[in-house]
Amino acid sequence: MRATAALSGAIAALAALPARAVEPVMHGAQKALGIKQMPWVFLIPNLLAVLLFSLMPVFINLFYSVTGSDRLYPVDRPYIGGANYETLFDCGNYLDPSTCSRDLFWRALGNTLVFVPVQVAAMIGIALFTAICLNRDIRGRGFFRSIFFFPVMLSPVVVALTWQWILQRNGALNGLLTSIGLNRVNWLVFPDSAFFWSVFVTVWAHMGFFTIILLAGLQSIPRDVYEAAKMDAASPWRVFTRITLPMLKPTLLVVFILCVIRSVQTFDELYVLTGGGPGSATILIVQYIYEVGFAIQPRNFGLAAAASLLLGAVLMIFTLIQLRLARGRNL
Amino acid sequence: MKLNAILSGTTLGLAMATATHAQEITILCDDVGFGCSTMAPIAERFNEENPGKTVKLETVSYQTIVEALPVQLESGEGPDGAIITDLGGLSRYYLDLTSHVDAGYFEEEFGRTLEWLRGSDRKSKAVNGMPTSLTVNGAYVNLTLFEQAGVPVPEEGATWDEWAEAARQVAEATNTEFPMEMDRSGHRFASFAISHGAELVDEEGNPVADEGLKTAIEKFVGWHKDGTMPLDLWGAVGGSTHRELFEDFLNANVVFYFGGSWTLSRMDTEVGDLFEWAVVDTPCGPGSCTAMPGGGALVGFKHTEQPEVVGAYIDYVSQPENYKEIIAASVEIPAAGTLIEEGVDYPGASERTKTALSTFTNQIPKMAPAAYRFQGWRYQRAMMNALTTRISQVINDELTVDAALDRIKQDVELAIEAAEGN
């Protein structure tokens, strides 16, 4: 008993050592800077990490966007001002990409503007429906939760190749159709069907992640609210619209922001599945940036940097609007 | 005293280990044809014969060499050497091997392809690497389907149109899915375009989008629209993505497949005796009957800390007996003049493959000057990327042929401007 107490004391003394060692330094800092500045001292390690890993790349990107040549080292890159931005914005009519100097950038942007709302709506709708189903007391609930989460663990390339084998001309889906006497469809050859499958595959691949978040949100809603609604004989639809949705709003907002950011960043699955085709029907903005900066030779790092900064700016504006709306509604 | 001796011994041991380690070089290569596995026995022999020098072969995918390696090199990182295929595009990173190899021998054996490694510097005499093998793109046909259809196989000198017509007849008679197929690659399309009179690049290194290219694109798009070619490759895929559907030929879903000599060993092992197949003479267009030359090269990079070892290894590989051994194992067309003249015995290859190789080799003298010029052009990849991207857009009615021609020229001009820092 005494030995245990001694051991606990020793451990506590050992644990306090770093704090004791830092104490004089903190006292010194507090004397020198004053109490009001002390929070900054504590924030410095985190701020340094943010500066190094988040802000520095933005500044480097900014530098690349105003310099030219296919060289990587800053000293080898001449300053060209806003030429890359001018090239991107050089358009006769912004609604007609074929009048733009960099038509593929505008086609990619246009595709992204259609893809994101469609995919986000489908993703949240299906994830919410799945979460509600999985929140019910059904048999094999654990098994189904695992099944829906399973695709999240797969590499995007594996997802894309799997679906390519399913959807290609001689793929599994067409095999199934012909076995029941239906005609084959070349799913990835037509712009509309390729776009549909692009949305479908990305939703399938990521839905599990959002389902889990929504499921956690659903489980945090107090049971007694539902019980009270049941006693009042509220219909299931009324329960959903008046209880579930309002109480799930904070979770939905997080899911919505994460979903939009992930949707705009969609690249790997579509690059492998369609390569941006047919033509340019499924090329999204990140693929355009990748191709210009890394796949097409000579590599145009400057133009890729300019395009990615524009994308970053759009995403930031969008996120700020979201946060503003959320604050306005006290979410 | 004893402690001193132990410390000295340890220090010496560590120094030796460091020195030995410092003599190690890494060569990046893929596993197709003249690559890591066919070069492995030679590298092992080199390591045995040169104690203290170690060559490590690192097998990666072709995509890694094309996309990731240039970025590594640009940042001053990466392997000491590699087998690459963008011969002109990477020229500024190459280690000049003149002082490490017999430059006269290299010039004599690899003369014309050695030029491709010098990029746009036409006056240079630098030995920037050792061309490994020559590749020739060309057509494979399913002879069994021709026989079943009772359609005669077009002979040497037949045009693209005659081949298309014959392939259509065969496909119709045998209920084959598609008459013709071409890899989605600017390199493959270039031979079709040049044979239709396209220049692609002029003597001054400027991109050219001429009537020949227009005719070729119109015909090519027409064949996709009328079902002569499947939409799965050039129609369904976008951007600059390389795509091929060898499985279609393997499953006898296509009569005529335009690929290249590097696929031969795969043809041999995978198609084998499933049906009769052959490599045929490259179809002719109004301009020429050209295929596109191509190939790889074993190069060292300037940033290496072991230029002597890199030079010694490349010199070792270039020795006639070693080079011949790798070429025979890889079943490829040699780049060395003497071996092209003497011929190579490919012990592991079937008779059909040997005949196919000789057909490919026979296409070399027929290659148009424009094909050689295009292959050695620094901005060849920019043009090839523009061709694949824009032709796919025409097939999908996003662009007209004339608009595509303007875009192709503009894309390459913008790429050149950007590369030169304008």
Q: Where are the domains of chain B?
A: 9-134+294-358, 136-292+366-419
Contacts of B251 in chain A (CB under 8 A): 170
- Cβ within 8 Å, pair B396-A103: no
- Cβ within 8 Å, pair A281-B238: yes
Q: Given this structure, which CATH class describes domain B136-292+366-419?
A: alpha beta
Return d(Cα B310, Cα B43) in angstroms, integer.
Answer: 12
> Which residue out of B67, B303, B406 would a mutagenesis test of the A interface target, given it has the greatest number of A Cβ atoms within 10 Å?
B67
Of B67, B241, B414, the CB nearest to A294: B67
Would an 8 Å CB–CB cutoff place B230 in contact with chain A?
A: yes
ipTM of the complex: 0.80
Whether B371 contacts B189, CB under 8 Å: no
Touching B: A residues 156-195, CB under 8 Å: 168-170, 186, 188-189, 191, 194
* pLDDT one digit per residue (tens) for chain A, 331 residues: 677 788 888 888 888 888 888 888 888 988 898 888 899 988 999 999 999 998 999 999 999 999 988 888 888 899 999 999 999 999 999 889 989 989 999 999 999 999 999 999 999 999 999 999 999 888 888 888 889 999 999 999 999 999 999 999 989 999 999 999 999 999 999 999 999 999 999 999 999 999 999 999 999 999 999 999 989 999 999 999 999 999 999 899 889 989 998 999 999 999 999 999 899 999 999 999 999 998 887 889 999 999 999 999 988 887 888 778 777 655 5
Does A202 map to a domain? Answer: yes
Question: How many CB atoms within 10 Å of residue B331?
Answer: 27
Gap from A307 CA to chain B (nearest CA, Å): 15
Return d(Cα B131, Cα B94) in angstroms, integer.
Answer: 13
Cα–Cα distances in Å, from B129 out to B54, B244, B312?
19, 29, 12
- Cβ within 8 Å, pair A295-B251: no
Contacts of A280 in chain B (CB under 8 A): 238-239, 389, 392-393, 396, 398
* Upstream peptide bond of A298 is cis (omega within 30 degrees of 0): yes
Whether B339 contacts B113, CB under 8 Å: no
Contacts of B392 in chain A (CB under 8 A): 277-280
* pLDDT one digit per residue (tens) for chain B, 422 residues: 444 555 445 544 444 444 445 589 999 999 888 999 999 999 999 999 999 999 999 999 988 898 889 889 988 899 999 999 888 889 889 999 999 999 999 999 998 788 889 876 767 889 999 999 999 999 999 999 999 999 999 999 999 999 999 999 999 999 999 999 999 999 999 999 999 999 999 988 899 999 999 999 999 999 999 999 999 999 999 888 888 888 899 999 999 999 998 888 788 888 888 999 999 999 999 999 999 998 899 999 999 999 999 999 999 999 999 999 999 998 889 999 888 888 888 887 888 888 998 899 889 889 999 998 998 888 898 999 999 999 999 999 999 999 999 999 999 998 888 887 65
Of A189, A287, A297, the CB nearest to B239: A287
Would an 8 Å CB–CB cutoff place B236 in contact with chain A?
A: yes
Return the pLDDT at B1.
Answer: 44
Contacts of B379 in chain A (CB under 8 A): 297-298
Contacts of B385 in chain A (CB under 8 A): 295-297
Domain that holds residue A277: 76-328
Return d(Cα B206, Cα A288) in angstroms, integer.
Answer: 25
For the domain that residue A248 is a member of, what is the CATH number? Answer: 1.10.3720.10
Does A184 map to a domain? Answer: yes
Return d(Cα A224, Cα A262) in angstroms, integer.
Answer: 35
Whether A101 contacts A111, CB under 8 Å: no
Would an 8 Å CB–CB cutoff place B392 in contact with chain A?
A: yes
- Residue B284: helix, strand or coil by DSSP? strand
The domains spanning B9-134+294-358 and B136-292+366-419 adopt the same CATH topology: yes
Does A109 map to a domain? Answer: yes
- Residue B273: helix, strand or coil by DSSP? coil
Does A208 map to a domain? Answer: yes
Of B74, B392, B410, the CB nearest to A279: B392
> Which residue out of A157, A296, A299 would a mutagenesis test of the B interface target, given it has the greatest number of B Cβ atoms within 10 Å?
A296
The CATH number of B9-134+294-358, from 3.30.420.40, 3.40.190.10, 3.40.50.2000, 1.10.10.10, is 3.40.190.10
Contacts of A67 in chain B (CB under 8 A): 421
Return d(Cα A136, Cα A152) in angstroms, integer.
Answer: 22
Would an 8 Å CB–CB cutoff place A104 in contact with chain B?
A: yes
Beta strands in B232-365 (DSSP E): 254-260, 277-280, 293-300, 333-334
Gap from A232 CA to chain B (nearest CA, Å): 56
Beta strands in B261-320 (DSSP E): 277-280, 293-300
Contacts of B422 in chain A (CB under 8 A): 68, 80, 83
Backbone angles phi, psi at B163, to 5 degrees: -65, -40
Please state the domain count of chain A: 1
Does A42 map to a domain? Answer: no
Does A60 map to a domain? Answer: no
